[in-house]
Structure 1
Amino acid sequence: MQNLVEIRDLKVEATTDSGRRVEIIKGVNLDIAPGEIVALIGESGSGKTTIALTLLGYARAGCRISGGNVRIAGKDMVTLSERDRAAIRGTEVAYVPQSAAAAFNPAKRIIDQVIEVTRIHRLMPAHEARQKAIGLFRALSLPNPETIGSRYPHQVSGGQLQRLSAAMALISDPKLVIFDEPTTALDVTTQIEVLRAFKSVMKKGGISGIYVSHDLAVVAQIADRIVVLRNGEVQEIGTTADILTRAQHPYTRALLAAFEPQPRGGEILVKDRKVLLEVKDLVAGYGAKHRDGLPLIRAVDEVSLSVEKGRNLGIIGESGCGKSTLARAIAGILPASSGTIIFENRELPSAVRQRSRDQLREMQIVFQYADTALNPEKSIEEILGRPLTFYHGMRGKQREARVGQLLDMVHLPNSLRHRRPQELSGGQKQRVNFARALAAEPKLIICDEITSALDTVVAAAIIDLLKELQRELLLSYIFISHDLSVVEAVCDEIVVMYGGRKVEEITPAHLQAPQHPYSKLLFSSVPKLDPGWLDALELDPELVRSYSKS
């Protein structure tokens, strides 16, 4: 059988700010047969997306394809003219991005954007394109396929928008579709429905695919073969089953090891264990307030929980369940409308500006995206130095020395202190984000999805760091996530939230036997390192209808 895609000795160069050229893709070879789905796996910076984009004849700003061939159905995307490449993009090769929200124009109706490629390339009349789009909506298991296209992007859920972006890619009957981490931002219940829809449409249409991801369990459900990448080079290629069960390369085995659930380790001994934080009947939300002072939209609805000294509480649930709103309400960033927050046996004011400096110092929050949490104009030394001055009055040599200690605590070299955030990797930025919280010398740190934007290996290293620091500093954590394996590795108790309410509280020892129907749906939807898992998965349809927002 002739290959649809043949990549030979592909090289891509990047130009640094100083004008130096660095080879970031180093002689990659890859074939894809018609109807085959191949996954590109590796850490951030391994070259996954860079290779995938060359199939569109594209290199990102500051990069160029410096050597090799990228042939699709015999056409070399490297040597074609830009006009010829443009004719192939969207017709023979299509792209599904990681963030569907960024791919849609918020001011235009969905249907008009889905069929736009058919108008640009004059593939079919508008009425025919609309009917074809509705057929794709149905095939992708979207609700109300006849009318969903009349909505605007903000009027559908994240999972629906991700499938609509796939419809946009598939409407031109492409030979190859590039999926660039399309389920990374989705919670587990939504991810299952989206993966099933993608897999069904691709197999029925005999369409080839490149699936870019750092999540081996997701890749296991959709890929025929896996290509393992590191630093722009192929480490190993094999069938999905071979890679998962008989991996040969040490790096592949390290990726697999990082994915396995991490043991929580021994319990930290704390004399006279006491409650550090107690939250009672907390209500928080958004919009205008009623006469009773409660918000129009209750994102958190009468939630109660507690955290003991030296212990950790996990909060899980799908997107929109109120996890992050609860974190912000506890931290005082979004003042609660009612309820009480008791910390160290003292009731805290609901608003952060009304709390004392010591109350602020003892409870810190680390946000999901270090990119937006760290000031890009400041050096790492300035970022870490500010809380040292604010909370402890440190200046000069004393502050410089403490910055070095903080960097050492989060396992970063002292040489990074003069760099800015954009010069650091994702994992390094998150360590700086955490070091800034440690600068306050807190008793409780609220971690809001701090590993969700990181690849598996880096996330595992961050979790190891959290455990180490807890042992050394007797910290307590509230760990908010939709990644159940991470929560299981860190937490002593787990709160399950749905629709702004706490529906269940369980310990890791009882994770296999949750009691609430939503908890059962959530835990059964976590992908396994088994290629047959998704096809064999049988979720209770009544539960899915009741709780799924996909």
Structure 2
Amino acid sequence: MTDALIDLATASPAPSGSVPVLELENLSVSYTDQHRRHRRVVHDVSLQIAPGEVLALVGESGSGKSTTAQAVIGLLAGNGRVDGGSIRLNGTDIAGWSQKRLESIRGAKISLIPQDPTSSLNPVLTIGAQVEEVLRLHTKLSKPDRRQRVLELLERVGLPEPERRAGQYAHELSGGMKQRVLIAAAIALRPQLIIADEATSALDVTVQRRILDLIDDLRAETGTAVLFVTHDLGVAADRADRIAVLKGGRIQEQGRTAEVLTHPSSAYTRQLLSDAPSIAPGPQRPAPTPRGGNAVEVHNLIQEFPTGRKQPAFRAVDGVSFQVPQGTTHAIVGESGSGKTTTARALAGFQRPTAGSISIGGQELSTLEAKGLRQFRKHVQLVYQNPFTSLDPRQTITRIIEEPLLNFAPVPRQDRTKAARDLLNRVHLPESVLTKHPRELSGGQRQRVAIARALVLNPQVLILDEAVSALDVTVQSQILGLLEELQRELDLTYIFITHDLAVVRQIADTVSVMSGGRQLEVGTVSEVFDNPQHPYTRELIEAIPGNRKATQ
């Protein structure tokens, strides 16, 4: 974690002399497995949030933070139960309340902003109808008054043309717009407590900042308390008055944000802070030593797609050019819809460019026919974003790693098994993993398997498409370290696709910044980050969590 980020965590102490909006005392939660055994996942958690205060509950996947939040609002999974402790809302213990009784306070006293807006909105109801539902259940407003209130709420959360949006369906909105709809529903009745469960983790940084600013404004206006459930220490540093750190269902430490970040008392918190990527200039890696010519050359790349209508083709990539020396890493950064993934797919040979040229290892892609393109793909491999969906759940790890070998030439089974074993060792996984299936591995282990699979054909170039964005900060740090090690040992060239500029500072040598299909800036990481020339680049840097006050 950067010293700058720690210095910026200037949080005020919790208000005193008032009853906490939320107080948990020795809360314990368990889940029942298929053998009817109870597995404790939250152990004696105690915390409190005062009116108008923001508490960040920080931890990695499996730490119990979402389970804690779900227990508060009474939305545990069917096999979950509160084993003990109290959940006091304004001094009243609601831990033993029935679902019917809890429904009377959901939305009215406590609101939840979930992580995934796509799965949280009903696809067959209009946006307006879904926001109105909260008002219909908890107020005696007439239908015209409810309709007016819905439009006011949609405008309040910054949705343009609220009347038109109210009549649209979820699939017609962007991710950021969907999340604003969920916030509109959450604040409709001015609740005393808002639980934001990783509510911005899937959003681009500029959208994330606008959503967090909106929650801040609402808190300041109404005195609403906020429980931020997050794995992002930058968000916690920027927005929280206090932090509680959770690991294995147990509180490791809690206190004022500045105190926890500057003087962490637990080894686990110190590890989290150490592993968090930094946007500050200090962590930038040293310049690579040139080991040859350019491994990748892209000149004026244009990629268009037909619209299927009597309109011009959609131009997803418009005039992108960059060069990547052998053994170095070039990052392509931008938000959703910027064209970065389309560029990656063109580099991998999955689509023929509309115009421009791509040369990899001296081979011009546009000159390759089907057979040559197939052989070319041995030299360029992709590592995808989500290790939970990129591996076939039916196959063993051995089969997953060796499969690319079967696609190009007959390789004896013994040789395939040896290659899989050698690659597992190279990505620091034990041989015992070979006989397992993906479901038996953690997210970090699965991504190591995905990297091993990409390396089995001895490629020259790896394209990593958001390859660490789905991982917790400590696992992310380990994978980035592994990638650097592999690059040094195998002289690999990386194209790193990401929206996370802090990770770019850590892993990349050069960078292209893209927006709307256009390349706005290109250069070394230090040139672009320390002296950004385009307003959009400056906005991206200013929006990085943990960097907010430094740029004000």
Q: How does 1:152-301 map to 2 (within 5 A)?
A: 152-261=169-278, 263-271=283-291, 273-288=292-307, 296-301=313-318
- RMSD across aligned positions (CA): 2.4
Matched, 1:513 2:531: yes
CA distance in 2, matches of 1:181, 1:101: 14
Query: Which amino acid in structure 1 is aligned with residue 391 of structure 2?
Result: L
Among 483, 492, 503, which residue is 2:520 paired with?
503
1:254-277 deviations in Å (ceiling 9; x for gaps): 111112428454445454x11112
Among 350, 356, 366, which residue is 2:383 paired with?
366
SS in 1 for 2:313: strand
Contact 1:391–1:440 (CA under 8 A) maintained in structure 2: no
1:164-191 deviations in Å (ceiling 9; x for gaps): 2101111122221110111111112222
Identity %: 39
CA distance in 2, matches of 1:73, 1:354: 69
CA distance in 2, matches of 1:193, 1:93: 22
Q: Flag the 1:318–1:351 CA change in 2: closer, same or farther, 3 A.
A: farther
> Shift in Å at residue 372 of structure 1?
1.9
Q: How does 1:452-531 map to 2 (within 5 A)?
A: 452-510=469-527, 511-528=529-546
Q: How does 1:18-33 map to 2 (within 5 A)?
A: 20-33=37-50
Q: Flag the 1:537–1:487 CA change in 2: closer, same or farther, 3 A.
A: closer
Q: How does 1:31-46 map to 2 (within 5 A)?
A: 31-46=48-63
CA distance in 1, matches of 2:48, 2:307: 57
> Shift in Å at residue 347 of structure 1?
1.5
Among 102, 108, 120, which residue is 1:85 paired with?
102
Q: How does 1:312-391 map to 2 (within 5 A)?
A: 312-349=329-366, 354-391=371-408
Matched, 1:119 2:136: yes
Query: Which amino acid in structure 2 is aligned with residue 518 of structure 1?
Result: Y
User: Which residue number corresponds to residue 83 of structure 2?
Assistant: 66
Contact 2:20–2:91 (CA under 8 A) maintained in structure 1: no
Contact 2:52–2:220 (CA under 8 A) maintained in structure 1: yes
User: TM-score, structure 1 length as denominator?
Assistant: 0.90
User: TM-score, structure 2 length as denominator?
Assistant: 0.90
SS in 2 for 1:370: coil
> Shift in Å at residue 241 of structure 1?
1.7
Query: Which amino acid in structure 2 is aligned with residue 481 of structure 1?
Result: T
Contact 2:277–2:506 (CA under 8 A) maintained in structure 1: no
Contact 1:110–1:152 (CA under 8 A) maintained in structure 2: yes
SS in 1 for 2:389: helix
> Shift in Å at residue 339 of structure 1?
2.5
Contact 1:176–1:209 (CA under 8 A) maintained in structure 2: yes
SS in 2 for 1:372: coil
Contact 2:112–2:195 (CA under 8 A) maintained in structure 1: yes
CA distance in 2, matches of 1:36, 1:200: 12
1:312-364 deviations in Å (ceiling 9; x for gaps): 11101111100111111211223322322212222124899554443111100
Among 418, 432, 435, which residue is 2:452 paired with?
435
SS in 2 for 1:405: helix
Question: Which structure 2 residue ranges, 5 or more long, are not aligned?
Answer: 1-17
1:411-440 deviations in Å (ceiling 9; x for gaps): 222222222222222222211111111112
> Shift in Å at residue 311 of structure 1?
1.0
Tell me the number of residue pairs that the alignment of Structure 1 and Structure 2 aligns.
Answer: 531
CA distance in 2, matches of 1:302, 1:504: 12
CA distance in 1, matches of 2:401, 2:27: 41
Q: Flag the 1:87–1:111 CA change in 2: closer, same or farther, 3 A.
A: same
SS in 1 for 2:382: strand
> Relative to structure 2, which stretch is displaced further, 31-40 or 74-83?
74-83
Q: Flag the 1:395–1:88 CA change in 2: closer, same or farther, 3 A.
A: farther
Q: Flag the 1:402–1:18 CA change in 2: closer, same or farther, 3 A.
A: farther
CA distance in 2, matches of 1:492, 1:53: 42
> Shift in Å at residue 467 of structure 1?
0.3
User: Which residue number corresponds to residue 6 of structure 2?
Assistant: none
> Shift in Å at residue 387 of structure 1?
1.6
CA distance in 2, matches of 1:355, 1:227: 56
SS in 2 for 1:335: coil
CA distance in 2, matches of 1:59, 1:112: 26
SS in 1 for 2:134: helix
Q: Flag the 1:428–1:101 CA change in 2: closer, same or farther, 3 A.
A: same
